[in-house]
């Protein structure tokens, strides 16, 4: 089966699973599913620049965190905020930051780009941690979960199930967007610029501009996830922008497969599920995760989804 087929199948599977969750689970599990779904969305956002654009960003948590903080700052203290007014602010803020970071960093190649995004991420972290804006190291609370408010209509998201449905719709939209962009001519140009920049420029395209657009879109998606996280927990803290967070998201992208849309989501889901399940058996489960990661780098360096596609292909050839 071609990689695209496997990718599409997995996406559909995950989408169906996401839609079934509220009917199967409740209570603690739904809250876990909410967290996992948001992290899957964040991984998809980062995967879009790491894969087709070939940009290794070690600072993406900054866009995630900034959107969360923006929401905390514009959320009213005494009543629930309106998703339709606060989310655009948070997302546009993240996109604006991504535009600045991207404009400056994308001129640099390879390693220097990685280091620059790392530095920007740290800049963001220390901005909120050291300067006193947004509560410093302690973070800030958001007193009410936002609601969907339109003239004459107000949908509360207080119940875990309703909030989960809201989250899954947003994340599915993000996944659909990422899938569409990857397969569009825009996505093809990105990949062409990644694999032979000279030739792509000689076709009249500007790799810098194309990558910048991809980076901003990715930053906006990451911002949307930050908004959702802030809405879920009612709390934002500088930790959200820490480099360890950026690195973890990058790792989930790589484990799943950066050149697919479902790969990053799968990586995030697997990692969080592993945490959940293994936590019950031993408190030192992380060492198992570490060993698995090391094993994966050596055996399936392109990620799980491509590995799966490859395995299915050879099975097909055997039976043929």
Partner 1 sequence: MPEPALRASNLSKSFGGLVAVDRVNLDLFQAEVHAVIGPNGAGKTTLLAMLAGDLSPSSGTIELAGHDVTRQSVEARTRSGIGRTFQRSAVIPRFAALDMVRLAALNNAGLALLSSLSANKPATARARAALGRVGLAERESVAADVLSHGEKRRLEIAAVLALEPKILLLDEPLAGLGADESRDVVALIEGLKRDCAIMLIEHDIDVVFALADRITVLDNGRMIACGAPAEVRVSEAVQQAYLGLDQP
Partner 2 sequence: MSPFFFFVQLLNAVQYGLILYLVASGLTLLLGIMGVINLAHGAFYMVGAYMAFAVVQHLASFWLALPLAIVLGLALGALLERFLLSRLEGADHLSQVLLSFGLILIINEGQRIIFGNDPHGIDVPPALNFSIPLSDTFAYPAYRLFVCAIGIAFAVGVSLVMARTRIGMMLRASAENRPMARALGVNAKRMYLGVTAAGIACAVLAGVIAAPIASVYPGMGDQVLIQSFVVIVLGGIGSLPGALVGAMLLGLVDAFGKQFFPNFAAFLVYAAMIAVLIARPQGLFRGTGT
The answer to whether 68 and 230 are in contact (CB under 8 A) is yes
Residues 138-197 binding partner 1 (CB under 8 A) are 180, 183-186, 188-189, 191-192, 195-196
Q: How far apart are CA 103 and CA 109, in angstroms?
A: 13
Neighbouring-strand partners of residue 235: 141
Q: Which does 196 bind (CB under 5 to 8 A by kind): partner 2, partner 1, none?
A: partner 1
Figure out which of the listed residues 6, 36, 38, 56 binds partner 2, where binding follows CB under 8 A: 56
Cα 173 to chain centroid distance, Å, stands at 13
Neighbouring-strand partners of residue 82: 147
Residue 204 in contact with partner 1, rule: CB under 8 A? yes
Residues 122-161 binding partner 2 (CB under 8 A) are 122-123, 126-127, 129-132
Q: What are the DSSP E strand ranges found in 180-265?
A: 235-236
Q: How far apart are CA 306 and CA 234, in angstroms?
A: 37
The answer to whether 48 and 221 are in contact (CB under 8 A) is yes
Residues 229-268 binding partner 2 (CB under 8 A) are 243-244, 247-248, 250-251, 254-255, 258
Size of the site for partner 2 (CB under 8 A): 45
Closest approach of partner 2 to the CB of residue 319, in Å: 31
Q: How far apart are CA 308 and CA 78, in angstroms?
A: 50
Figure out which of the listed residues 111, 202, 298, 320 binds partner 1, where binding follows CB under 8 A: 202
Closest approach of partner 1 to the CB of residue 301, in Å: 17
Residue 201 in contact with partner 1, rule: CB under 8 A? yes
Q: Which does 120 bind (CB under 5 to 8 A by kind): partner 2, partner 1, none?
A: partner 2
Closest approach of partner 1 to the CB of residue 190, in Å: 10
Give the distance between the most distant pair of CA atoms in the chain: 66
Residues 86-105 binding partner 1 (CB under 8 A) are none
Closest approach of partner 1 to the CB of residue 244, in Å: 34
CA dist 56 → 11, 250, 261 (Å): 23, 8, 16
Closest approach of partner 2 to the CB of residue 300, in Å: 11
Q: How far apart are CA 92 and CA 99, in angstroms?
A: 10
Q: How far apart are CA 301 and CA 85, in angstroms?
A: 42
Q: Can you list the alpha helix ranges (DSSP code H) found in 131-184?
A: 160-183
Q: How far apart are CA 318 and CA 25, in angstroms?
A: 40
Q: Which does 126 bind (CB under 5 to 8 A by kind): partner 1, partner 2, none?
A: partner 2
Q: How far apart are CA 295 and CA 292, in angstroms?
A: 5
Figure out which of the listed residues 23, 78, 111, 202 binds partner 2, where binding follows CB under 8 A: 111
Q: Which does 318 bind (CB under 5 to 8 A by kind): partner 2, partner 1, none?
A: none
Q: Which does 287 bind (CB under 5 to 8 A by kind): partner 2, partner 1, none?
A: partner 2
Q: Which does 293 bind (CB under 5 to 8 A by kind): partner 1, partner 2, none?
A: partner 2
Task: Tell me which residue of 70, 112, 106, 107 sits closest to 90, measured CA to CA.
Answer: 70
Q: Which residues bind partner 1 (CB under 8 A)?
A: 180, 183-186, 188-189, 191-192, 195-196, 198-206
């Amino acid at each position: 089966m071609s990689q695209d087929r496997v990718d599409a199948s997995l996406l559909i599977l995950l989408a169906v699973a996401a839609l079934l969750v509220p009917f199967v689970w409740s209570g603690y599990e739904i809250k876990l599913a909410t967290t996992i779904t948001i992290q899957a969305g964040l991984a998809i956002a980062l995967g879009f620049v790491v894969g087709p654009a070939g940009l290794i960003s070690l600072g993406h948590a900054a866009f995630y965190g900034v959107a969360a903080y923006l929401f905390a700052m514009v959320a009213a203290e005494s009543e629930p905020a309106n998703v339709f007014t606060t989310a655009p602010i948070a997302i546009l803020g993240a996109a604006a930051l991504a535009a600045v970071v991207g404009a400056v960093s994308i001129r640099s190649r390879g390693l220097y780009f990685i280091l620059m995004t790392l530095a920007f991420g740290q800049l963001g972290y220390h901005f909120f941690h050291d300067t006193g804006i947004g509560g410093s190291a302690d973070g800030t609370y958001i007193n009410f979960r936002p609601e969907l408010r339109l003239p004459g209509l107000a949908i509360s998201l207080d119940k875990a199930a309703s909030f989960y449905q809201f989250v899954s719709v947003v994340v599915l939209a993000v996944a659909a967007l990422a899938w569409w962009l990857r397969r569009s001519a825009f996505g093809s140009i990105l990949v062409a610029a990644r694999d032979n920049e000279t030739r792509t420029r000689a076709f009249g395209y500007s790799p810098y501009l194309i990558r910048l657009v991809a980076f901003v879109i990715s930053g906006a998606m990451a911002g949307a996830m930050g908004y959702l996280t802030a809405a879920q927990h009612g709390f934002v803290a500088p930790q959200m922008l820490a480099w360890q967070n950026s690195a973890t998201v990058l790792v989930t992208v790589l484990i799943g497969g950066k050149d697919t849309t479902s790969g990053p989501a799968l990586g995030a889901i697997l990692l969080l599920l592993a945490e959940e399940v293994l936590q019950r058996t031993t408190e030192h489960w992380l060492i198992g995760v570490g060993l698995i990661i090391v094993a994966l780098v050596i055996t399936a360096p392109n990620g799980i989804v491509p590995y799966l596609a490859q395995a299915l292909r050879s099975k097909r050839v055997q039976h043929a």
